C-alpha cells in the first residue's frame, strides 16, 4: 500500500448489495455470500494502492433483530473470505443506530448514511485524502456523502442499484459512474485514478 503521510486515496464500500449478496437484515456469518467479481474487484483496487474501507448502516441492531457482536462476527467472516482471495480491507465502520430503533440505539446519528460521520472518522483514523477518494454502493444513501466530502461516486447495479435507477431515486443526485458490479466499478476507478 502507498505511504499515507500525504493522505491516501481510498475506496469506501457499502457492504450489503455491493460486496455480498443483499439479504434482508443479514444477521449471521452463515448467510454471507460474496457477489461475483467482488474479490477480483477489491484485489484490483488494493493493487492500485487504494485503502479499502467498508462503511455500512446496520439498523437491524437498532431494531433488535441482532446485536453488535453479530455484526462483528459477520465482518470477521467477510474479512476472512476477502483476505483468502488477496482482497482484504483496511477497516470496517458500521452504524447501529436508527431514528425508529429501540433503547439507546434509537437516535438520529451523524454516522448513519447519508450522514458523513463514518467517512470522516475513517479519514482521520487512516490518514485518507477524501478529495482523491471514491464511494461505491448500491443505494442513493451510500452515495450522497460523496457530494459533501468531494469524493467521486459509483452506483453498482447489484443489490438495490438497478431499482434505484428504475425508480428514478437517483434523479437530482450527482453520480460519477454507474457500474454493473464491483469488478466493473474497480476497472473504472483504476482508470480514473491513472489520470489524477
Find out whether 74 and 56 touch, Cβ atoms under 8 Å: no
Summarize pLDDT for 143-196 with one digit per residue, the tens: 999 999 999 999 999 999 999 999 998 887 889 999 999 999 999 999 997 665
Give pLDDT tens digits for 71-107. 999 999 999 999 999 999 999 999 999 999 999 999 9
At residue 100, φ and ψ (nearest 5 deg) are -105, 20
Length of the chain, in residues:
196
Cβ atoms within 10 Å of 190's Cβ, excluding its own: 17
Residue 11 dihedral angles phi and psi, to the nearest 5°: -115, 115
In DSSP notation, 108-148 reads: --TTSTTSSHHHHHHHHHHTB-GGG-EEEESSHHHHHHHHH
The catalytic residues are: 14, 16
The rounded Cα 17 to chain-centroid distance in angstroms is: 10
137, burial (CB in 10 Å: exposed 0-12, middle 13-18, buried 19+)? buried
10, 92, 168 from 13: Cα distances, Å: 9, 9, 22
45: helix, strand or coil: helix
Helices 182-194 and 38-47: crossing angle in degrees, nearest 10, is 20
**Residue-wise DSSP of 178-190:** EESSHHHHHHHHH
- Give me the CATH code for the 10-194 domain, please: 3.40.50.1000
Average pLDDT score over the chain: 94
Enumerate residues 6+ apart whose C-beta is below 8 A from 84: none
pLDDT, tens digit, 9 for 90 and up, residues 99-153: 999 999 999 999 999 999 999 999 999 999 999 999 999 999 999 999 999 999 9
Name the pTM for this structure.
Answer: 0.95
Amino acid at each position: 500500500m502507498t505511504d499515507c503521510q500525504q493522505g491516501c486515496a481510498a475506496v469506501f464500500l457499502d457492504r450489503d448489495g455491493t460486496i455480498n449478496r443483499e439479504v434482508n437484515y443479514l444477521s449471521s456469518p452463515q448467510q454471507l455470500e460474496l457477489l461475483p467479481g467482488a474479490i477480483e474487484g477489491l484485489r484490483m483496487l488494493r493493487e492500485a494502492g487504494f485503502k479499502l474501507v467498508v462503511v455500512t448502516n446496520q439498523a437491524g441492531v437498532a431494531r433488535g433483530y441482532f446485536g453488535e457482536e453479530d455484526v462483528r462476527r459477520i465482518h470477521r467472516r467477510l474479512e476472512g473470505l476477502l483476505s483468502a482471495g488477496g482482497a482484504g480491507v483496511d477497516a470496517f465502520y458500521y452504524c447501529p443506530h436508527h431514528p425508529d430503533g429501540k433503547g439507546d440505539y434509537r437516535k438520529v446519528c451523524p454516522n448513519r448514511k447519508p450522514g458523513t460521520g463514518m467517512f470522516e472518522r475513517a479519514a482521520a483514523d487512516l490518514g485518507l485524502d477524501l478529495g482523491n477518494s471514491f464511494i461505491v454502493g448500491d443505494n442513493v444513501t451510500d452515495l450522497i456523502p460523496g457530494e459533501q466530502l468531494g469524493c467521486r461516486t459509483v452506483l453498482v447495479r447489484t443489490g438495490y442499484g438497478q431499482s434505484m435507477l428504475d425508480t428514478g431515486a437517483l434523479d437530482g443526485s450527482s453520480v460519477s459512474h454507474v457500474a454493473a458490479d464491483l469488478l466493473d466499478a474497480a476497472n473504472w476507478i483504476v482508470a480514473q485514478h491513472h489520470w489524477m
